[in-house]
Amino acid sequence: MQPFVGSLKLNNRLLTKTRDYGILLEMTQEEFFKYIEQTYHDALAIVAKKNKDYATDVDPFKNFKLSSLVGVSPARAILVRISDKMARVVNLLEKPASVKDETVEDTIVDMINYLAILKAYIHDQQSPAPDATAPKTTQKEQ
């Protein structure tokens, strides 16, 4: 017997039963963008809080640069963290978490943050260093 595949309305929301994914609650595009915006907002709050614990005001990559002590570049150290989070997401999608205080959603937000950190690190490395000997300009001069 084939599983049911179809849709029905529940509280003005469309529920879709699919063969592969079970019952899906379909969000509107507006709800989708609001959810993404909230995800980015939450991710930024977390990375700001964690960066205060792991880094300094003048070096937001300080903890990743410590990887150089064992011969690993900071970019690779960030990639290792991303791969750790990816492995956790894969595992959590296949079986329940043993550690209950970090959900799959929390792990995804961590991945988003590590990807953003990597992007910022690459940008930082490609940006020309400020010339300390150049005279500083004031706002009036600009």
In a domain, residue 80? The reply is: yes
Query: For residues 53 and 55, what is the distance between their CA atoms, to the nearest angstrom?
Result: 6
In a domain, residue 19? The reply is: no
Query: For residues 50 and 44, what is the distance between their CA atoms, to the nearest angstrom?
Result: 10
The tokens describing 33, both together, are 């963008």
Query: For residues 42 and 89, what is the distance between their CA atoms, to the nearest angstrom?
Result: 18
In a domain, residue 13? The reply is: no
In a domain, residue 42? The reply is: yes
Query: For residues 128 and 131, what is the distance between their CA atoms, to the nearest angstrom?
Result: 9
User: What's residue 127's pLDDT?
Assistant: 85
In a domain, residue 33? The reply is: yes
User: What's residue 4's pLDDT?
Assistant: 46
pTM of the model: 0.73
How many structural domains comprise the chain? 1
User: What's residue 115's pLDDT?
Assistant: 98
In a domain, residue 12? The reply is: no
* Total residue count of the chain as it appears in this document: 142
The range of the structural domain enclosing residue 99 comes to: 29-125
Share of the chain above pLDDT 70, in %: 73
Q: What rounded mean pLDDT belongs to the chain?
A: 83
In a domain, residue 71? The reply is: yes
What does the pLDDT look like over 76-119, one tens digit per residue?
999 999 999 999 999 999 888 887 788 899 999 999 999 999 99
